[in-house]
A and B are shown apart, each in its own frame.
Chain A
Amino acid sequence: MMNSLQRKQPPVFPVERVIIPEVQSLNLKNGVPVYLINAGTEDIMRLEIIFRAGQVRERLPLLSSTTNMMLSEGSQNYTSEEMNRLIDYYGTFLNLSPEKDLAGAVLFFLSKHIEKVLELTRELIFRPLFPEPELNALMKKRLRWFLVNKEKASNQAIDKFFESSFGKLHPYGRQLTEKDFESMNPSIIREFHSEYYTPDNMTLIISGKIHPRTTELLNHYFGEIASVKKQKKDPEIKIRGKASKEIHIVKDGAVQTAVRIGSPTINKRNPDYPGLKILNTILGGYFGWRLMKNLREEKGFTYGIGSAVSSLNLSGYKVISTEVSPKNCSQTIDEIFNEIRLLQNVPVSADELAVVRNYMSGEMVRMFDGPFAIAESFRAVWEFGLDNSYYQKLSEKILKIDPDEIIELARTYYNIDELYQVTVGPNEKEVS
């Protein structure tokens, strides 16, 4: 019975070609672009409202995120308490999203409640009052959150990584201090809001089983608001990383050292980016890839180690992250550099290349599995002025990349001399 089954050999079939869905687009009466992804089996929808109103646009630290977080703190027609109660009453999930480049809100709701949800959303987005008592309370809370988060070695390490590699003046490198929490007031928030939360700076992405009245209702709630088109630009600040690339922050008594190694890099607009994503997966994208295999599965040095490449509007960045016992820290760092050197010098084997092709093709199937995943994937290219043809290119690169190209990419984008190395932990690491 047992022997009739091939238990040593996996039953493997090629992963089917990824089907990249179409996204419909239209404009509201006032020109606001809307992208529609009509799919799914349940009567639910996701509405994302996006403004180019992220941290890069703020003239004071915290201004962009505070404006965003204050949207639900009271509007012309609702107090914050009424607003929050209604959102919950209609079974709706609201996530405000203050980010580095963008800011806005995402709402998940039952399609039958679309009219109420859009009415509340208009209040949130276009009619907030930014009352002073709520602002003061928020800033006090945010200060406490900041102080607690700062306590975690992993947060300290990533903050220091951004500060060192982008520079203190760059919007991605700028760091907060306790004093910044005292500098917000309603008038600068209102000014930021009226400058950036405007129809000409707005985009809507709607997904799910789209309610038949969606376009009509969007025009009713958002299509009548007028705004004068103004040129708004991201600041042109050069990335100025610190000259010294090894930074250690002493955290007495810590039982682990947090390690972050990486640097600014290309973003999605660069044609090498798909290849860099593949290289990054081989280096340490998930369970079983090189860093994880070496430092977790073979040496048992860490609960987890990962390598990530991320894309932001002004620049991309790559970073390797782990937390290890202080006694293994310097060996861990050596191993990380060894793994990078191997990728720069030794061609990836046919077997490993086959695994990465199939694993990443499977990832792409997941990226388009269901309306909300499709919406998130579309958003992730839309924000760089790209469309879903990016995924076509990624998919082709996954199938065609060869070992020489991987070596070339590793040499170009993982130059060890350019990598910042941040550690946060007790002083034992100093021996390295």
Chain B
Amino acid sequence: MVNFKKITLENGLKVLVHEDNSTPLVAMNILYDVGSKDEDPGRTGLAHLFEHLMFGGSINIPEYDKPLQMVGGENNAFTNNDITNYYLTVPSENIETGFWLESDRMFGLDFSQKNLETQKSVVIEEFNQRYLNQPYGDAILKLRPLAYKVHPYRWPAIGMDINHVAGVDLENVKEFFFSHYAPNNAILAITGNITFEKAAELSSLWFGPIPKRTISPRNLPVEPPQKEARSITIEKDIPSDAIYKVWHIGPRNNPDFHTLDLITDLLAGGESGRLHTKLVRDKKLFSEINAYLTSDIDPGLVILQGKLMKGVEIEYADNSIAEVLHGLKDITNLQDEMEKVRNKYESSTVFSNTSILNKAVSLAHYELLGDPDLINSEVDAYRAVSGEMGADTAEKYFGLSNCSSLYYKSTRKGA
């Protein structure tokens, strides 16, 4: 049980606090409700570039990392399609330094031209390293625009074209900051060796004076239902053929989410997952295969990906995936396997909640979803998923016309 209390400051900042005295540390997580989905299609990658700029100095503090390290702290951040999330951990006696640092950069940034130019170049190297200089690194760059035609999930957080990042100027950056970085667009979660009273007092002291800012309401285009199967094939000098398939699902708060999550566990969770058992072990078609949900707030995707064994026909492998998915109708077996994946989910939650940092990230995320109590109650929704629900949900989503496929064919001899 993760006990927590919540307050909202006058400027709109939501603060959630969970006390855990078994650790000498405190974790602090600040979630800004802005992700790559909030970008202009002509200037993508800005939210993620902005995350980098947040470490380049703020109004009163020239440098972020060193003062935090001076008090024994450690930090990092990530950006996805929905959110930009910053976190740190620090020995509890120095948590005020975290408030000092995070409130200052919510107040305002240094906005230096030099920092912007350097970080643009760092992000371009990140793009090269993660997406281009890896054998299948560009898969997500191809899959998103195949599955989404209008919703901004059609580009990844790094951007749809790295030239967009190269073209960002200081005016774009300032405008982005003042329209998205604000106490009334953020959630602060504090967990660990700190009382609620102390955390509330420090929050008001350091974040209280930051003025509310005007956040324009989000008005994203709705992705129309996919009507027919889509596919692309990429021929490339890679070590083996590969298949990537995605299906549209509902938003994160759709009641089918938990069932779908368990279905992907049943398909690909652990060594005993069906895809692994049937396609890797029995039929020996794939060297590895995996399936998971994107867990996006707006309607997301199931992603399935596998690398083929040498000499396996890609069409045959593809049909075999379809057979496994079709086999999800098999309710009798599902009953038994459902218990297994429900247990595994429950146990992974227990393990995850031993970390104060995980608890801080989860609390902020659940608050964004509209209900921080989900940190304790969501497991009940998973517990309630039955075999019949599994079979019905699989049938509902894994239709052919809802699917987009990306095939990698190796041009190498003997692959």
Contacts and interface: CB of A to CB of B under 8 A. Distances in A.
A253 to B, nearest CB: 8
A11 interface: yes
A369 B135 CA distance: 38
B411 interface: no
B88 to A, nearest CB: 11
A42 B354 contact: yes
B22 interface: yes
A303 B347 contact: no
A355 B66 contact: yes
Given A87-B270, A151-B238, A358-B70, A7 B347 contact: no
Interface residues of B, number: 80
Given A16-B24, A365-B25, A354 B70 contact: yes
Interface string A261-292: 00000000000000000000000001110000
A153 to B, nearest CB: 6
Contacts of A109: 347
B339 interface: yes
Given A8-B60, A13-B71, A84-B271, A44 B239 contact: no
B125 interface: yes
Given A11-B97, A16-B91, A84-B270, A359 B125 contact: no
Contact of B117 (A92, A110, A300): A300
A163 interface: no
A45 to B, nearest CB: 11
A8 B104 CA distance: 9
Nearest to B21: A41
Contacts of A108: 351
B315 to A, nearest CB: 19
B209 A303 contact: no
B206 interface: yes
A75 B35 CA distance: 49
Interface stretch (B173-181, B276-284, B384-392): B276-284
A186 interface: no
B347 to A, nearest CB: 3
A72 B276 CA distance: 14
Interface in B344-384: 344, 346-348, 350-351, 353-355
Contact of A91 (B60, B205, B281, B347): B347
Interface residues of A, number: 73
Contacts of B69: 286, 288, 355, 358-359, 362
Nearest to B242: A148
Contacts of A11: 94, 96-97, 100
Interface string A54-83: 000000000000000000100000001100
Given A84-B271, A89-B343, A256-B128, A15 B22 contact: no
B401 interface: no
A140 B307 CA distance: 13
B89 interface: yes
A363 interface: yes
A87 B176 CA distance: 48
Contacts of A393: none
Nearest to B346: A91
Contacts of A15: 71-72, 91, 93-94
A87 B339 CA distance: 13
Contacts of B341: 88
Given A10-B71, A286-B74, A89 B350 contact: no
A101 interface: no
B122 A300 contact: yes
Closest 8 CB pairs of A and B: A362-B72, A91-B347, A288-B65, A300-B121, A144-B287, A359-B69, A300-B118, A84-B271
21 contacts: A2-B209, A7-B100, A87-B272, A88-B270, A109-B347, A137-B281, A144-B239, A144-B307, A145-B287, A147-B240, A148-B135, A148-B240, A286-B74, A297-B118, A299-B118, A303-B122, A323-B133, A324-B125, A359-B70, A366-B74, A370-B22
Interface of B: 20, 22-25, 55-56, 59-61, 63, 65-67, 69-76, 89-91, 93-94, 96-97, 100-101, 104, 117-123, 125-126, 128-130, 132-135, 205-206, 209, 238-240, 269-272, 277, 280-281, 284, 287-288, 307, 309-310, 339-341, 343-344, 346-348, 350-351, 353-355
Given A85-B272, A140-B309, A354-B70, 7 more contacts: A39-B22, A88-B343, A147-B240, A148-B135, A302-B122, A324-B125, A362-B91
